[in-house]
Chains A and B, each alone.
Chain A
């Protein structure tokens, strides 16, 4: 690509950056899979395509150094695709180093809108790993993964684009056109070829063969590209509308080579799908097959009629057709060259649409669904969603007020108002749910980066770890996703560092050499549960007690009194670390206490189970969203506060008979358990009532139970949570602010914070 710089808008840079990062993430994931020996052709195609798209995009923006590195990376993938290599650990490391370097370069490019410095190291290492003979070969443009749509062959044709007379960078435009068409999964080949485009041998025309007619908006997008003067769709069989011969000298049109092999099965063919597969494999072997009709996905699903057709990039040798004709149950084999536009003489026989058969349901496979998904999704600025959420929150508040007014009105007036408000209530409810859904992301967004992290860590520590992710598609609100990122990093690091033992040690203990760490997400009613389980050494309660005593966290007597489970929970105590030596990996002074606090700060809960010698499992319950909170509203003095239902166990009668004092502090005995009774009035800085509280709410914080003295229970409600706007340092205990039906703001308490503040005040 030329070094000419174009003026792109900041938004375009941003969009490029976002997309490029997604491609990099996809690449990284695939590389990790390849290293594990999982080399699936589809995955390989995805990786290849990600690299190719990234290369094209960066070249378009004049980011030569990014394009260069991506090109080398693409070459290695190409070798892999050819079967010329495998991905061993050094190769994986080199590929990963390249994606890392690309990430850094991208950040710099997006920030500065300029080509970043070349990543020479990554480039050199990756270059050195090339398979020699492949190296000189020009990079082949990526072939689209055969989309699964059952296509009518007659739909194939040619998109012809003419560049403006003063077009400065026809090769760049050609690449943009190619990528646009490739992204809709239709591009078969181009004239001039993509190799010529790469070498900047492009005249004033560029044509792309498509497997099917493109949507009108695709053509419109092409027409909207700068310096593109005209875009024309020429259906392959429409001889009547044959265009004039292209006049670009560089555009030596050679697309007459492409075409279609049509096979008809015998009427009594018992297994057409098997035959179709044989034909496909035969043609794929000679390296020509582009896509089939019906698609291979349909073939796998046995949706094949009595015809099967395969689009080829070039005419097959006669012996290939002969071999196909000799397959059992194949009645006839025809080669139908696609018509070259402007070719002299009569039109060649129009390839009839192969009859896909009754079973060949259109769009029945995964690939077209995916394409549709792309068309039906848009990138939305996060702040827009936040705004929308705020507006909906306001609407809900106003609705609640309206409902209240309705209840206060007289009978007749109330009736008609009630009708309106109940309708409004329904509408706002579904509006709220829809907006909440728009904010949901699959947890994979966070999980995605962990395989790489676990791999690097285990390599660094010389451990063998099999890392498994399950349920990555479970969805959580953006805000919750953000909140679990760091805790999960910490827990996983712990699992690799302290959980999984060295291979020899494992063998000695009669376990498989390779340790296993499983990261699972699943949805339970109103929650997402995330669990990290390892089959490592487990935690030793006895050792935890010793450490606690040595660190001065507990007295020896208190430690001895602890149950095993309570001893395990010691790892959640601030400043407690179980590692013998502080290690690079997990001993950075960030403890499980922070993990617990982070999870609790978003209204979640953490639990730990561990069996010595068998492994450890940490389970987190997380709310689906932070935007709304199911809460118990209670009155304390003049104030109404919201207690998140996740923490509320039950409401209890207090009163003089139920409340006792231990060392001057009030406690309640609940089913044999002594529970500290805390004053919410004190937390709220209200004058503390002199009387013994009459009512308490039992809440759970971690594994501890507390009674909170309140004056009145007002009932459960789903409240919209807003952040507390505060210019002062937060003392903890406030999770947000809800607007009540009467318009008053009410504090949503974070009970872990409340109990902490109160215990520190009384200490």
Chain B
């Protein structure tokens, strides 16, 4: 990972934070390594990267097991926040942390745009 690539991805992630309700985001490889993140507070970005990749990988194998096509996204809803994970090309994932009351439609739209940008950057 060259430094400019990481900086460009961080800019994309920075843009996501302007969307109401999104509090943090990260790009991770599908095997759980952190590429870039916009995470503040007490969240350990690297542990979060490994956990979300594992969560998404397990969801993918579950969808494949029931022969339900390919995985679009994983949404985990907690009491005060939700985690949304989507593919950003064949090698990476975009993971977003949003407030529980964040407008899901808008958030998903912006995540879709950002994941396509990240995919292009990593190609």
Whether chain B is bound by chain A comes out as: no
List A residues at the B interface (Cβ < 8 Å): none
